[in-house]
Amino acid sequence: MIMDCEQYTGKCVCGREHTLETRKVVVAEKAIDHFEEYMQELGLTGRRTVVYDEITWKLTEGKHVKADQNIVLDPNGLRAEDILIEKMMKDLDSPEVIVAVGAGTIMDFGRYPAYKLGIPFVAIPTLASSDGFTANICSAIMNGQKKSTPMCAPVLVVADLDIISGAPKRLIASGINDILAKYTSLADWRMSHLVDGEYYCPMVADLAEHALKLMRDAADKYAATGIADHEAMTMAQMESGLTMQLLDHSRAASGAEHLMAHLVEMKPPRFEKAEGIHGECVGVGTFACIREYHKLAGMKPKARPFVPLTRDWVVEKFGERLADGIMKENENDVLGTFDPQNIVDRWDEIKAMLDALPSVEEMEKLYSDCGCKYLPEHIGIDPALADEMLDISAAIRNRLTLIRMKRVLDFE
């Protein structure tokens, strides 16, 4: 599959003018054999530095692309952190384009310098278990803190299926989880648009929906046969990443379910033993949300006035260490920006969205047949916290989701 990204740019029905730094995404067998043609086509002809680590250097043996300079990093202790990336930048031999060959960490070793130097960046993913490749976000540790920093996206992505198909089962499952999360992330976005008038783009929502369909079909096939359709799975990740570039935020790809991944990273009291890669934590969040959303669909809400989160509650759930950050995030709580009665008035439409989600049984079977993590105990969370974990994680980000809306609703 080759995706020409121009079709998504320009004036849109949503009223915005969308732009993309990514111009072409190639997902195909032996894609690397045509690498020079793609570079030529996009005018990426200048001095080229190619960044690998020793593992991806070995993995791509015999397929190394042409370079004016190769940098092969020692994978021991390698992490995406500003000081380490800046150290590598001292060795750069005045590149005019940077190519990164690897997964998340190596991508940031390409993305960050390219951004700082104002030159284009090209990605050759060796794994496709997340949607970060085509996003314009750098997840490196900055000033000692792990966070997502807006940065450039690759101009060109060349995913060679001969390389990617070597992915271990755990990463395949995690990749499936990250895309199936769109069931709830899209529902959250649409509900928020409905009750709070939050900006919504039908074109981007369609693209996210398409990524979800690609992955769902591939997951069904994988569940039934054990054969992974890497082409479809990889393209689903690429499309999901593009939605973040098109919106300049992750709204289409990340709702209440994604906050579970943040919760696991933050490790508040009682969650100290939680552990899992991104997609696994997201899978647990998605399954819990689907269960909760179906439950709520069967009830009738009544509006109650908005009350800000209290410091006592935040300290109880997050501990003193994290309390200040959580309080700050909720300073301008989105729940206080609209009349909760809107939710009640639009409940029939919301209920229809919730009813359209796959059933709990369907998801449970799919997850388990694909070897996905989806229960709290799969990622080291005490099942006794299952009822609370969504309400706690909803406080991590001031973004409107149905889980957050529960704070202004009584259900009967």
- The residue ranges that bind Zn ion (CB under 5 A) are 12, 14, 178, 201, 203
Shortest distance, position 379 Cβ to Zn ion, whole Å: 14
Quickly count: other Cβ atoms within 10 Å of residue 408's Cβ.
Answer: 23
Cα distance between residue 121 and residue 134, in whole Å:
11
The CB-of-8 to Zn ion minimum distance in angstroms stands at: 9
Task: For the CB of residue 336, give the shortest distance to Zn ion in the complex, in Å.
Answer: 27
Please state, in angstroms and rounded to a whole number, the distance separating the CA atoms of residues 4 and 136: 17
Residue with tokens 């976005």, as numbered in its chain: 189
Rounded Cα gap, residues 314 and 326, in angstroms: 7
Q: Least distance to Zn ion from the beta carbon of 83, Å?
A: 26
- Kindly tell me which of 5 and 71 has the beta carbon lying closer to Zn ion: 5
Say how far apart CA 116 and CA 53 lie, in whole Å: 21
Residue nearer to Zn ion on the CB measure, 126 or 254: 254
CA angle centred on 412, ends 318 and 376, rounded to 5°:
35
Measured from the CB atom, the residue of 205 and 357 that comes closer to Zn ion is: 205
- Closest distance to Zn ion from the beta carbon of 96 (Å): 32
**Closest separation between CB of residue 258 and Zn ion, Å?**
6
Closest listed residue to residue 282, CA positions, set 165, 390, 406? 390
How many residues appear in the chain? 412
Q: Which is nearer to Zn ion, 277 or 296 (CB)?
A: 277
**CA count, 13 A, side-chain hemisphere, 86:** 7
The two beta strands, 17-18 and 10-11, are antiparallel
Between 12 and 315, whose beta carbon lies closer to Zn ion? 12
Nearest CB to Zn ion, comparing residues 201 and 322: 201
Of 182, 309, 295, 301, nearest to 237 by C-alpha is 182
